[in-house]
Amino acid sequence: MPEGPALLWFRRDLRLDDNEALRAAVARGRPVVPVFILDEAAEGRWAPGAASRWWLHGSLEALTQELAARGARLILRRGDSREHLLALAAETGARAVCWNEVPDPAARRCDVALRAALAAQGLEVLVGGGALLRSPEAVRNQSGGPYRVFTPFWRHCRHGELELPVAPAPRTLVAPRRWPRSDTLETWALRPSLDWAAEFPASGEPGEAGARRRLADFIARAMDAYGTDRDRPALDGTSRLSAALHFGELTPRQVWAAVEAASRESGVMPRSRGAQVFLDEVGWREFAHHLLLHFPDTPERPLRAEYASFPWRREAAAQDAWRGGRTGYPIVDAGMRQLWRTGWMHNRVRMITASFFVKQLLQPWADGAAWFWDTLVDADLANNTLGWQWSAGCGADAAPYFRIFNPVLQGEKFDPDGEYVRRWVPELARLPARLIHRPWEAEPAELAAAGVRLGGDYPRPIVDLREGRERALRALETWQRDRRAAGAGKEPA
């Protein structure tokens, strides 16, 4: 006779394969009650932004279908997770609650209180992993503290065997005698009410099956050239798996295992350069979560605490132009328009747009991070924080503040033919490649031939690059001088 049901609590692990909590839930043949709880209050300021809510809707739809194919239902509840889990346990007679860890500080705090509340009701708690390759608690430097530099961190992580994915999902799940009440996904209104998300499907296909297809396609088609093509925004040279990894439709150990298997099958051992560079990017994701768990205040405060006093200049007009893709710098504008229309932006262009925001415009990095949080379907607190603090020079392993990307040179290097700009800034599409990243240098006849009206259908630059760079360096120099005068000690680079 099967035991009482197990509640299988989905969070950011919206998959059935390589799911430790699912494996625990089906142990000994017991019935399984899958549940997802939209607990926005628990996540506070970092509840999913508008774009990632769109992805979440699609991922929950896909998970519902995967469960239905196995004879199960996904029970949806909205509100306090602890209250709903206790209520569901009482409704179903559940004897156990199973979930997988979410690697962020708020979720960890929730888990501690939840374990105690469930245990007080005599419920067994089974917690799995899979979101990371290594437990952040197990990765320490020689002094016993957390790493703050990527290279030694990743060398440590790669040492020794990595865990392989757990067994695939069972073909059927034992149903409870009676299914509890469930919300309907549509009533949650996760998708934007405006026609903002019409092009979001271009950013990827939500759901576990879509993630598996994308991974297989990337490995077969683009992985070997990843070392070079990943920096070319006009090419489909990246994996686009970031949203799938964030929502747990795919685990990093599944990615690692698939890359290793492909390398063995192709006879390229050790791995090709492209495969190794790609796995190093998986390592950066690990590093981001390592930092967030050890330094939980970093989404709002710089890791390098001295930068809290840096003289950023919050200017609404500059931020509006940046957000709207109207800065007058084509590669920046192309990236910001791609972000708004598809919910995704190429990683190289993320670095260019972020550098422009914090250095050429001297705007606070946290303001830019907040915009990305709301508009990226793959918005991930750890990765967003690491990326923006890297650009601002105030985080771990960060680019020095005086390293300032030139958006014109970056555009000419990584979008040499202007294909990316032509796609997202169509008003410049007829300019020749030598001018498309610097239209203000075109002769009047060249602009007329291309149908471009600077200051009309396309803006003139909102800041002169040389002046913006000099202003940023003056701000750095003044800040360092003031800190020295205040006796703050050695200055950061």
What pLDDT was estimated at residue 58?
98
Of residues 188, 196, 256, 312, which has the active-site annotation? Answer: 312
> Does residue 374 share a domain with residue 450?
yes
> Does residue 279 share a domain with residue 343?
no
Of residues 154, 322, 344, 388, which has the active-site annotation? Answer: 388
Q: What's 344's domain CATH number?
A: 1.10.579.10
Give the length of the chain.
493
Catalogue the long-range contacts made by 115-118 (C-beta closer than 8 Å, 24 or more residues apart). 117/82, 117/86, 118/85, 118/86, 118/89
Q: How many beta carbons lie within 10 A of that of residue 121, not counting itself? A: 12
> Does residue 115 share a domain with residue 148?
no
Q: Is residue 190 part of a domain?
A: no
Range of the domain at 420: 305-485
Q: Is residue 257 part of a domain?
A: yes
What pLDDT was estimated at residue 270?
73
Q: Is residue 182 part of a domain?
A: no
Q: Is residue 197 part of a domain?
A: no
Tokens of 347: 């990683």
Q: Rounded to the nearest 5°, which phi and psi values hold at 8?
A: -105, 100
> Does residue 144 share a domain with residue 114?
no
| Alpha-carbon gap, residue 193 to 208, rounded angstroms | 25
Number of domains, the chain: 3
**Per-block average pLDDT, block size 10, for the chain (493 residues)?**
84 97 93 97 91 98 98 98 97 96 92 94 94 92 94 92 88 96 97 86 95 97 96 97 98 96 82 93 97 96 95 96 98 98 97 97 98 97 96 86 92 98 98 98 97 96 97 94 79 51
Tokens of 42: 């628990």
What pLDDT was estimated at residue 490?
54
> Does residue 458 share a domain with residue 314?
yes
> Does residue 370 share a domain with residue 265?
no
Q: What's 115's domain CATH number?
A: 3.40.50.620
What pLDDT was estimated at residue 476?
92
Q: For residue 104, give Cα distances in angstroms to 98, 292, 338.
A: 18, 7, 28
Rg of the chain, C-alpha, whole Å: 24
Instruction: Identify whether 312 is a catalytic site residue.
Output: yes
Q: What's 290's domain CATH number?
A: 1.25.40.80
Of residues 199, 284, 427, 440, which has the active-site annotation? Answer: 284
Q: Is residue 21 part of a domain?
A: yes
User: Looking at 129, 147, 175, which one is the last position of a domain?
Assistant: 129
> Does residue 383 share a domain with residue 289?
no
> Does residue 376 share a domain with residue 327?
yes
Q: Is residue 187 part of a domain?
A: no
Q: Is residue 18 part of a domain?
A: yes
> Does residue 217 share a domain with residue 286?
yes
Residue 389: CA atoms inside 13 Å, Cβ hemisphere, count? Answer: 27
What pLDDT was estimated at residue 1?
40
Element (H, E) at 34: strand 32-38
What pLDDT was estimated at residue 162?
84
Strand partners of residue 78: 38
Q: Are 227 and 187 in contact (CB under 8 A)?
A: no
User: Looking at 129, 150, 180, which one is the last position of a domain?
Assistant: 129
> Does residue 456 share a domain with residue 322?
yes
Of residues 9, 46, 340, 365, which has the active-site annotation? Answer: 365
Instruction: Identify whether 284 is a catalytic site residue.
Output: yes
Of residues 281, 419, 427, 446, which has the active-site annotation? Answer: 281
- What's the distance, Cα to Cα, between the start and end of the chain in Å? 67
> Does residue 90 share a domain with residue 55?
yes
> Does residue 114 share a domain with residue 138?
no
Q: Is residue 391 part of a domain?
A: yes
User: Looking at 129, 156, 179, which one is the last position of a domain?
Assistant: 129
Instruction: Identify whether 388 is a catalytic site residue.
Output: yes
